């Protein structure tokens, strides 16, 4: 833009100049040294924040840290730019000064500034006014051809300022390419403004430069604002396309259809985008190998570089991979464009398009009869697909000739060999030859090429010839199921299990025997007949199982042996009649019917439904049906109180019946428990009527059990008598037993001194015998107490009063009392708190407590009850220590030797350290 003011030196008249000079000299002499004054020619009106001009402050004072204006309507910046602070109207000239201070050097200078108003000249009538259409200080951006050939330096632009008509202007430039990296690419002539380039420039490296142009006067004044000039480097097609990477690998399944996308191979161009220099075209230059049937196997899209399948003829077994040479050319593929090539390696992925076949069509093998678990023959498979893949792994299957499951095939996945094995022995007498038809397949389904025929399945035939072997007798069937009814007499023939010679087919000269019989139910004679060994009853106490597997054997004349299995099932018989489970009943005043339930030890169908009847018609009782196994017993009329016996016959569904005598007490009561005294207990005691008399015998094992039980009971009695006859050690009750009642104490002070850290006080008394401890008596203040000390099978009693020490030792049941220092032998008085005295003391008091609690509605006396606490994992080894403990039992203090560590720690804390 044009400057808003014009600076000049001097005035319009000599008078004004003299006056200004006088004023300047006066100011200089009074304050400081004055600098050269600056004059600006301005329009009559200025807007706020308008640039007036620029003052060269460094010419007046090289360094100044304080810059200010004497007129508040104007602002001076550090670079000397002068702006209007407010809107100003200049009717006449306006003068002010710019104050410059250097506080470090204590230097102060002033720059006088004169602002003159320039009136706009109005052209007279008929006068021609010249107008400028465009300023030369703002040229269009400069373009420079990339990699220009020169000659260098080469002029690319000329800068000119309109103010050069009024001032002596010099030009300069700065920025990238001049005084910033890259350096010295451009320079300008100071006087003419001609802009030059010094060397060729690569657009891909420096596509554009922005330099700053300056127009200054000789005294440093800049009438023009700095100009940002753009130099654009015009692109030249100097960069060929580049494939990255140069070689690409792709995979495609064989037998794929035409049009299948394989991959994309693209190139990049460093030239300017969206121009012909970067518009690429792709094509396939070469294909290796070239198929005669399909010379053009692949296509590439010219614009995108996408590779597709042109022909459906990929066969991995014929060609495993293809190599394509692809060209990328810029300039839209025109011949004069730059080009490059890349390599695409296309590998074919195998598919299961070939069926495996057996190495041979017919195999023949010989096997001895009765051979089991042996490998017969190896069958190899050939597959043209890629090895060690699912399309190559073979599976063998026997489709014919193995209906009995005698053969199986194991496949080795690493070698594709199937091994034929035999699982069941072959019988030469039945079959002398077996023909097995075997097919072979792959794990993976077949994938065929388009328009191709279906693959043929591979198969082979294995002829297995059986060789005869002299073998032992054979049981037929090999497992014989024998059902035996219970309660048959011993020696009853229950079955026949013969064996035969495979060679002759008869059972002559064959002997039989039992090899293993865990139950001992049957016997087998030499002719093969099976008999019961004893009477077998399912209801016997020693009968735990109702089925047993027995192994039998047969031996021929040559000594060869064959075995068979006899599965013996003991079947249930209707040998038990139903009985009523509770034959003793009580009928109260309400005469409520009595429910009678019967049970039968037999199994269905010899159980329910039961039939109930009263054989004696003269009885005053009748039966009312309830369900299949129970009835109600009801009196026919009002009968007097007393005991009655009602015989009831119960018949099961199999017709077996028995009579049970039901005892009924008719009583004037509310609940049956009121009349229970003297009545027979409720157990089943059936009376056997004339209808059936059971045959009960006592076996040998029952007699032996009774004898052993009697001997064991006698041994226990002898042991108890021996223990009770030993010399007892008496217990003595202390004087302050307080009637054996618990005393509640809240004392938290230390207890009595304990002489040994291993001692735990238990109870008062003189001496208590223990299997693993000794009694230590301490007499203090007329009282004697004992404490248990873990020992080695002896008992020690120390009396501290008078220094007397007495030892009671027990060695192998013999007790001696040794005297020591002091008073000699102390007397041990025997004392035992009798159970009757204890009961006499507690019974009336407990009865009173119960009565008071029942009479008190607020239940205040319930606080005196013994409270029950929850179970916390395990009980105390000491048992109950409450006030109701039965004192009649012998003291058992063995638990003191198994106290847990925390109780031993408690005992140790009671000892004064």
Which of 105-119, 613-627, 888-902 has the lowest average pLDDT?
Answer: 888-902
User: Using an 8 Å Cβ cutoff, are 305 and 296 in contact?
Assistant: no
Residue, of 694 and 655, whose pLDDT is higher: 655
Query: Counting beta carbons within 10 angstroms of the beta carbon of residue 896, is it exposed (0 to 12), middle (13 to 18) or buried (19 or more)?
Result: buried
Distance of alpha carbon 528 from alpha carbon 510, whole angstroms: 9
Residue 245: band (very low, low, confident or very high) from pLDDT cuts 50, 70, 90: very high
Distance of alpha carbon 398 from alpha carbon 461, whole angstroms: 10
Which of 38-42, 92-96, 295-299, 678-682 has the lowest average pLDDT?
Answer: 678-682
DSSP for 856-893, written as a single string = -TT-GGGGGSPPP----SS--TT---STT--TTSPP--
pLDDT in tens, 847-892: 666 666 655 555 454 455 455 555 555 555 555 444 444 444 445 5
Query: Counting beta carbons within 10 angstroms of the beta carbon of residue 703, is it exposed (0 to 12), middle (13 to 18) or buried (19 or more)?
Result: exposed
SS3 836: helix
pLDDT in tens, 384-414: 888 888 888 888 999 999 999 999 999 888 8
Give the Å distances, CA to CA, from 397 to 352, 363, 366, 413.
19, 15, 21, 15
Residue with token string 């094992």 = 701
Residue 219, phi then psi, degrees to nearest 5: -90, 10
pLDDT in tens, 521-565: 888 888 888 988 888 877 777 776 778 889 998 888 888 888 899
User: Using an 8 Å Cβ cutoff, are 338 and 241 in contact?
Assistant: yes
Distance of alpha carbon 100 from alpha carbon 110, whole angstroms: 6
> How much is the average pLDDT of 788-808?
35
Copy the structure tokens of residue 301: 């899209």
What is the reported pLDDT for 890? 46
What is the reported pLDDT for 775? 36
Residue 736 has pLDDT above 60, yes or no: no
C-alpha atoms less than 13 angstroms from C-alpha of 69 in its C-beta half-sphere:
19
Q: What is the DSSP letter of 763?
A: E
Residue 826 has pLDDT above 80, yes or no: no
Residue 747, phi then psi, degrees to nearest 5: -70, 130
pLDDT in tens, 590-641: 888 889 999 887 778 878 888 898 888 878 888 888 888 899 988 888 888 8
Residue 755 has pLDDT above 90, yes or no: no
What is the reported pLDDT for 241? 94
Distance of alpha carbon 43 from alpha carbon 154, whole angstroms: 42
What is the reported pLDDT for 121? 54
Residue 264: band (very low, low, confident or very high) from pLDDT cuts 50, 70, 90: very high
State the DSSP H helix or E strand holding residue 87, giving kind and residue range, or none if neither: none
Furthest-apart CA atoms within the chain: distance in Å: 176
Residue 714: band (very low, low, confident or very high) from pLDDT cuts 50, 70, 90: confident
User: Using an 8 Å Cβ cutoff, are 13 and 61 in contact?
Assistant: no
pLDDT in tens, 437-454: 999 988 888 877 776 677
What is the reported pLDDT for 704? 81
Residue 346: band (very low, low, confident or very high) from pLDDT cuts 50, 70, 90: very high
Query: Counting beta carbons within 10 angstroms of the beta carbon of residue 427, is it exposed (0 to 12), middle (13 to 18) or buried (19 or more)?
Result: middle
Residue partners of 830: CB distance under 8 A and separation at least 6: 728, 730, 731, 732
> How much is the average pLDDT of 680-689?
45
User: Using an 8 Å Cβ cutoff, are 681 and 584 in contact?
Assistant: yes
SS3 828: coil
User: Using an 8 Å Cβ cutoff, are 701 and 542 in contact?
Assistant: yes
**Which of 2, 15, 16 has the alpha carbon at shortest distance from 93?**
16
Residue, of 672 and 631, whose pLDDT is higher: 631
Copy the structure tokens of residue 763: 């109870």
User: Using an 8 Å Cβ cutoff, are 866 and 884 in contact?
Assistant: yes
State the first-to-last Cα distance of the chain, in angstroms, to the nearest integer. Answer: 109
Q: Which residues pair with 43 in a beta bridge?
A: none
Residue 464 has pLDDT above 90, yes or no: yes
User: Using an 8 Å Cβ cutoff, are 356 and 384 in contact?
Assistant: no
What is the reported pLDDT for 305? 92
**Which of 558, 563, 536 has the alpha carbon at shortest distance from 547?**
536
User: Using an 8 Å Cβ cutoff, are 298 and 432 in contact?
Assistant: no
Residue 777 has pLDDT above 50, yes or no: no
Residue 2 has pLDDT above 60, yes or no: no
Distance of alpha carbon 170 from alpha carbon 221, whole angstroms: 10
> How much is the average pLDDT of 421-433?
87
Copy the structure tokens of residue 695: 């045959």
Give the Å distances, CA to CA, from 428 to 369, 425, 434, 479, 564.
6, 10, 11, 21, 20
Residue 479 has pLDDT above 70, yes or no: yes
Distance of alpha carbon 681 from alpha carbon 658, whole angstroms: 21
What is the reported pLDDT for 772? 35
State the DSSP H helix or E strand holding residue 853, giving kind and residue range, or none if neither: helix 835-855
User: Using an 8 Å Cβ cutoff, are 445 and 457 in contact?
Assistant: no
Give the Å distances, CA to CA, from 902 to 349, 747, 763, 880.
77, 22, 20, 20
Residue 824 has pLDDT above 70, yes or no: no
Residue 298 has pLDDT above 90, yes or no: yes
C-alpha atoms less than 13 angstroms from C-alpha of 408 in its C-beta half-sphere:
9
Pairing of strands 458-467, 362-368: parallel
Cis peptide bond prior to 191, omega within 30° of 0? no
Give the Å distances, CA to CA, from 356 to 350, 393, 396, 420, 629.
15, 9, 10, 18, 72
Residue 53 has pLDDT above 60, yes or no: yes
What is the reported pLDDT for 637? 83
User: Using an 8 Å Cβ cutoff, are 553 and 515 in contact?
Assistant: yes
Residue, of 545 and 237, whose pLDDT is higher: 237
User: Using an 8 Å Cβ cutoff, are 244 and 238 in contact?
Assistant: no
Residue 267 has pLDDT above 50, yes or no: yes
Q: What are the helix (H) ranges across 642-751?
A: 700-725
pLDDT in tens, 129-187: 555 444 567 778 888 898 888 888 899 998 888 888 888 889 999 999 999 999 999 99
Q: What is the mean pLDDT of the chain?
A: 75
Residue 520: band (very low, low, confident or very high) from pLDDT cuts 50, 70, 90: confident
């Amino acid at each position: 833009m044009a400057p808003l003011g014009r600076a000049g030196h001097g005035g319009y008249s000599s008078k004004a100049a003299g006056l200004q000079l006088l004023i300047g000299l006066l100011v200089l002499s009074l304050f400081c040294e004055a600098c050269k004054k600056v004059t600006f020619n301005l329009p009559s009106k200025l807007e706020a924040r308008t640039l007036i001009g620029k003052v060269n402050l460094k010419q007046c004072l090289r360094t100044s840290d304080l810059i200010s204006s004497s007129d508040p309507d104007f602002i001076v910046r550090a670079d000397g730019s002068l702006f209007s602070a407010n809107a100003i109207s200049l009717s006449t000239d306006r003068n002010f000064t710019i104050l410059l201070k250097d506080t470090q050097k204590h230097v102060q200078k002033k720059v006088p500034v004169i602002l003159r108003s320039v009136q706009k000249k109005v052209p007279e009538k008929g006068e021609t006014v010249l107008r400028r259409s465009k300023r030369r200080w703002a040229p269009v951006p400069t373009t420079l051809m990339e990699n220009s050939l020169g000659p260098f330096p080469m002029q690319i632009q000329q800068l000119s300022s309109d103010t050069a008509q009024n001032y002596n202007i010099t030009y300069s430039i700065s920025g990238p390419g001049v005084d910033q990296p890259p350096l010295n690419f451009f320079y300008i002539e100071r006087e003419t403004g001609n802009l030059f380039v010094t060397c060729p420039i690569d657009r891909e490296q420096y596509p554009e430069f922005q330099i700053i142009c300056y127009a200054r006067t000789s005294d440093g004044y800049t009438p023009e604002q700095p100009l940002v000039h753009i130099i654009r480097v015009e692109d030249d097609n100097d960069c060929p396309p580049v494939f990255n990477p140069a070689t690409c690998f792709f995979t495609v399944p064989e037998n794929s259809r035409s049009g299948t996308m394989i991959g994309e191979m693209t190139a990049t161009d460093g030239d300017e985008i969206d121009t012909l220099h970067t518009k690429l075209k792709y094509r396939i230059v070469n294909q290796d190998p070239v198929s005669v049937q399909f010379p053009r196997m692949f296509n590439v899209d010219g614009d995108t570089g996408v590779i597709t399948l042109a022909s459906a003829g990929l066969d991995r077994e014929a060609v495993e991979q293809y190599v394509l040479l692809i060209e990328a050319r810029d300039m839209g593929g025109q011949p004069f464009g730059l080009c490059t090539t890349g390599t695409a390696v296309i590998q074919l992925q195998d598919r299961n398009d070939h069926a495996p076949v057996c190495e041979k069509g017919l195999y023949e093998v010989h096997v001895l009869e009765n051979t089991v678990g042996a490998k017969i023959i190896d069958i190899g498979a050939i597959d043209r697909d890629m090895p060690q893949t699912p399309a190559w792994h073979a599976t063998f299957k026997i489709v014919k000739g193995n209906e009995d499951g005698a053969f199986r095939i194991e496949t080795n996945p690493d070698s594709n060999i199937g091994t034929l094995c035999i699982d069941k022995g072959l019988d030469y007498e039945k079959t002398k030859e077996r023909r097995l038809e075997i097919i072979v397949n792959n794990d993976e389904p077949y994938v065929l090429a388009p328009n191709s025929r279906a693959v043929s399945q591979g198969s082979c035939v294995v002829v297995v010839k059986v060789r005869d072997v002299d073998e032992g007798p054979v049981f037929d069937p090999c497992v014989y199921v024998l059902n035996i009814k219970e309660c048959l007499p011993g020696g009853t023939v229950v079955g026949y299990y013969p064996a035969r010679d495979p060679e002759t087919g008869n059972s002559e000269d064959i002997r039989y025997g039992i090899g293993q019989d865990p139950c001992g139910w049957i016997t087998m004679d030499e002719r093969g007949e099976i008999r019961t060994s004893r009477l077998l009853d399912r209801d016997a106490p020693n009968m735990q199982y109702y089925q047993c597997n027995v192994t039998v054997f047969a031996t021929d004349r040559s000594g060869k042996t064959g075995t068979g299995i006899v599965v013996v099932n003991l079947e249930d018989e209707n040998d038990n009649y139903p009985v009523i489970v509770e034959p003793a009943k009580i009928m109260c005043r309400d005469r409520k019917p009595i429910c009678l339930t019967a049970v039968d030890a037999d199994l269905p169908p010899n159980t329910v439904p039961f039939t109930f009847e009263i054989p004696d018609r003269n009885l005053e009782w009748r039966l009312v049906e309830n369900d299949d196994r129970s009835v109600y017993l009801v009196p026919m009329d009002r009968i007097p109180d007393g005991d009655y016996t009602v015989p009831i016959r119960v018949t099961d569904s199999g017709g077996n019946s028995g009579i049970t005598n039901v005892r009924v007490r008719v009583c004037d009561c509310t609940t049956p428990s009121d009349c229970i005294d003297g009545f027979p207990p409720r157990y089943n005691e059936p009376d056997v009527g004339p209808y059936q008399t059971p045959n009960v015998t006592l076996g040998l094992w029952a007699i032996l059990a009774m004898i052993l039980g009697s001997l064991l009971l006698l041994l226990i009695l002898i042991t108890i008598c021996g223990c009770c006859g030993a010399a007892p050690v008496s217990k003595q009750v202390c004087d302050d037993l307080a009637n054996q009642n618990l005393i509640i104490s809240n004392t938290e002070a230390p207890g009595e001194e304990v002489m040994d850290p291993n001692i735990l006080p238990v109870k008062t008394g003189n001496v208590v015998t223990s299997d693993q401890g000794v009694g230590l008596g301490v007499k203090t203040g007329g009282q004697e107490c004992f404490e248990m000390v873990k020992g080695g099978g002896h008992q020690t009693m120390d009396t501290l009063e008078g220094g007397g020490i007495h030892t009671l030792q027990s060695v192998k049941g013999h007790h001696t009392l040794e005297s020591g220092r002091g008073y000699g032998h102390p007397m041990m008085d025997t004392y035992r708190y009798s159970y009757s005295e204890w009961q006499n003391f507690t019974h009336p008091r407990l009865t009173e407590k119960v009565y008071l609690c029942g009479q008190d509605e607020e239940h205040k006396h319930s606080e005196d009850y013994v409270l029950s606490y929850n179970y916390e994992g395990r009980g105390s080894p000491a048992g109950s220590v409450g006030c109701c403990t039965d004192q009649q039992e012998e003291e058992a203090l063995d638990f003191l030797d198994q106290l847990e560590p925390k109780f031993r720690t408690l005992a140790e804390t009671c000892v004064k350290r």
